[in-house]
């Protein structure tokens, strides 16, 4: 499915056609420290050239709202997503919680979201704390993403006993897997019919957009508020943005001060974030290709892949080989870091623009050698779940 250049982009970067045009991909720069951190894409390293860019930023006070570099970034990102305004903050937790708080005006109220979502599991109970909201955590029937049916079956209705659903919060990508646009549209329609607001945790929406070819604005316009990270795969040192209407963002700015997020000379951080958005996003298709290459390689050795590999994450199960043994071998032989729980056999691998082909090939080699050395034989159950988005997005090659 060919999509023409998105008209929403300022610098004429053809996000969509990048998917099929491998030659234009920016270089994937290997880690200067000499190790490859695949525990998360938050591990993207700061490079020397970033400081010269930071130096060129404006140096005004963002609490006063008059810093040009910050205002430029906020305007740029808002337009990318087809919204009026945005707010640059210290973290994704902050932007998620701000977006939700701005939508959740008065208890009793609840938020419906995927049981595996970041806002449910990894934000220190923020929904209860910041918004006094209950959470309806739904386990996706298909094991990968929420469907409109899942949402409809689980939303809490208005009743004197209830904290009715006031916000549906989706996450895309979630565990690296893409939520299909049709499903998002169905959920959008349902929400609008029932007067429910919509928030997107789009920490990795950039990856989804690069993989599917769908412009960011098409995703953006389905939601009242969108939270997007720049410190993950995009590679900026710090930050995240919350996007919405002027009124929403005005409220969010006030709430941000309340949460202690009113920072001063943040221009330097905004400038480097904008630079990274422009230069790193085009490298994402290459990262996705390497991720698939790694998944295929590991699968070839018998390791099970637990979720669809749509973007930059792989969930693997190495049972009966303990994950710690694989982690040790990878670190010793190739300086590759992966996370391993004690006595666990499941982990998440995350790639980003600073992971190169040689790291991937090395990983596959180390895993294969270790398996042979230990004489491991794997169970023969099929590894991929049934959900496969490639039919919706022919550009994604499995």
Partner 1 sequence: MLVRRSIARSFSTSSATRLYIQNNLNNDQTHPSLQTNPGAKVYDFRSDTVTAPTDEMFEIMKAASRGDDVFQEDRSVKELEEYVANLCGHEAALFCASGTMTNQLGLRTHLSNPPHSVVCDARSHVFLWEAGGIAFHSRASVSPVICRNGIHVTAEEIEGNLIEADIHTAPTRVVSLENTLSGLVMPIDEIRKISELARSRGLAMHLDGARLWNAHMQSGVPMHEYGAQFDSMSLCLSKGVGAPVGSILVGNHGFIDRARHLRKLFGGGWRQVGPLAAVAKHCIEHVVPTMPETHKLAKYLADQLTSLGVQLQVPVHTNMVLIDTTSVGLDVQKDLIPTLLSKNIVIGGQRNKSRIVLHHQVDRKGVDTLIEGVREAIATHQANEPSEPPAQQQAIASAY
- Would you tell me which residues interact with partner 1 (CB under 8 A)? 42-43, 45-46, 48, 51-52, 54-55, 59-61, 63-66, 89-91, 93-95, 97-98, 123-126, 129, 231, 237-239, 254-255, 257-266, 268-269
Cβ 113 to partner 1, closest distance in Å? 17
Smallest distance, partner 1 to C-beta of residue 216, A: 22
Question: What is the DSSP secondary structure assignment for residue 156, as one 8-state letter?
Answer: P
Closest CA to 315 of 384, 371, 252, 227: 384
In angstroms, what is the minimal distance from the CB of 167 to partner 1?
Answer: 17
> Which of 123, 356 has the CB closer to partner 1?
123
Q: Which of 337, 349, 351 is nearest to 289 (CA)?
A: 351
Q: Single out the residue of 118, 124, 135 nearest to residue 42, CA to CA.
A: 118
Residue 258: partners with Cβ closer than 8 Å, 6 or more residues away: none
Closer Cβ to partner 1, 53 or 319, answer by number: 53
Two tokens, residue 194: 């029932």
Closer Cβ to partner 1, 213 or 239, answer by number = 239
Smallest distance from the beta carbon of 331 to partner 1, in angstroms? 15
What are the tokens at 22? Answer: 């491998």
Q: Which is nearer to partner 1, 91 or 365 (CB)?
A: 91
Distance CA 220, CA 214 (A): 11
Q: How far is the CB of 241 from partner 1 (least distance, A)?
A: 13
Q: Mention every residue, 6+ apart, whose C-beta is less than 8 A from residue 105.
A: none
- Our CB check for partner 1 shows the closer of 122 and 369 to be 122
Taken as a whole, the chain contains a residue count of: 398
Least distance (Å) between residue 342 CB and partner 1 = 17
Angle at 291 between CA 290 and CA 293, to 5 degrees: 60
How many CB atoms neighbour CB 351 within 10 A?
30
- Hey, what are 246's tokens? 């002027």
Q: Which residue, among 83, 102, 18, 36, has the nearest Cα to 351 in the 3D structure?
A: 36
**Min dist. Cβ of residue 395 to partner 1 (A):** 30
375 three-state secondary structure: coil
Nearest CB to partner 1, comparing residues 40 and 383: 40
Q: How far is the CB of 161 from partner 1 (least distance, A)?
A: 25
Q: Where are the alpha helices (DSSP H) in the chain?
A: 49-55, 68-80, 92-103, 118-121, 126-131, 148-154, 181-193, 205-212, 216-220, 246-258, 267-280, 284-300, 323-334, 357-374
CA distances from 136 to 151, 168, 299 (A): 10, 9, 35
Of residues 60 and 204, the one with the C-beta less far from partner 1:
60
Smallest distance from partner 1 to CB 218, Å? 28
For residues 239 and 95, give the distance between their C-alpha atoms in angstroms, rounded to a whole number. Answer: 9
45 or 72: CB nearest partner 1: 45
Specify the residue, 238 or 387, whose C-beta has the smaller distance to partner 1: 238
């Amino acid at each position: 499915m060919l999509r023409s250049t998105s008209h929403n982009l300022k610098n004429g970067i053809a996000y969509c056609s990048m998917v099929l045009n491998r030659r234009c991909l920016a270089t994937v720069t290997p880690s200067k420290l000499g190790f490859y951190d695949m525990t998360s894409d938050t591990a993207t390293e700061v490079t020397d050239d970033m400081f010269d860019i930071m130096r060129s930023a404006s140096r005004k006070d963002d609490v006063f709202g008059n810093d040009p570099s910050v205002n430029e970034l906020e305007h740029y990102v808002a337009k990318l997503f087809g919204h009026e305004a945005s707010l640059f903050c210290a973290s994704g937790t902050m932007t998620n919680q701000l977006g939700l708080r701005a939508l959740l005006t008065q208890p009793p109220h609840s938020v419906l979201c995927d049981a595996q979502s970041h806002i449910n599991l990894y934000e220190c109970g923020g929904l209860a704390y910041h918004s006094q909201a209950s959470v309806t955590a739904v386990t996706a029937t298909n094991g990968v993403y929420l469907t409109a049916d899942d949402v409809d079956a689980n939303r809490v209705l208005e009743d004197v006993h209830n904290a009715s659903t006031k916000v549906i919060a989706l996450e895309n990508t979630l565990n690296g897997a893409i939520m299909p646009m049709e499903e998002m549209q169905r959920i959008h329609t349902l929400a609008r019919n029932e007067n429910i607001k919509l928030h997107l945790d789009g920490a990795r929406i950039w990856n989804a957009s690069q993989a599917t070819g769908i412009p960011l604005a098409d995703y953006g316009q389905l939601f009242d508020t969108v939270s997007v990270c720049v410190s993950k795969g995009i590679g900026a040192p710090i930050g995240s943005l919350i996007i919405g209407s002027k009124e929403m963002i005005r409220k969010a700015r006030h709430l941000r001060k309340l949460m202690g997020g009113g920072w001063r000379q943040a221009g330097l951080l905004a400038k480097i974030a904008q630079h990274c958005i422009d230069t790193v996003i085009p490298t994402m298709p290459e990262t996705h290709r390497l991720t698939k290459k790694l998944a295929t390689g590991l699968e070839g050795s018998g390791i099970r892949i637990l979720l669809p590999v749509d973007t930059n994450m792989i969930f693997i199960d190495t049972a009966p080989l303990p994950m710690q043994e694989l982690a040790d071998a990878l670190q010793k032989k190739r300086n590759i870091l992966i996370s391993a729980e004690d006595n666990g056999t499941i982990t998440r691998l995350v790639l980003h623009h600073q992971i190169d082909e040689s790291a991937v090939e090395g990983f596959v080699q180390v895993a294969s050698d270790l398996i042979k050395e230990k004489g491991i034989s794997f169970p023969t159950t099929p590894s991929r779940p049934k959900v496969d988005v490639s039919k919706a997005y022919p550009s994604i090659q499995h």
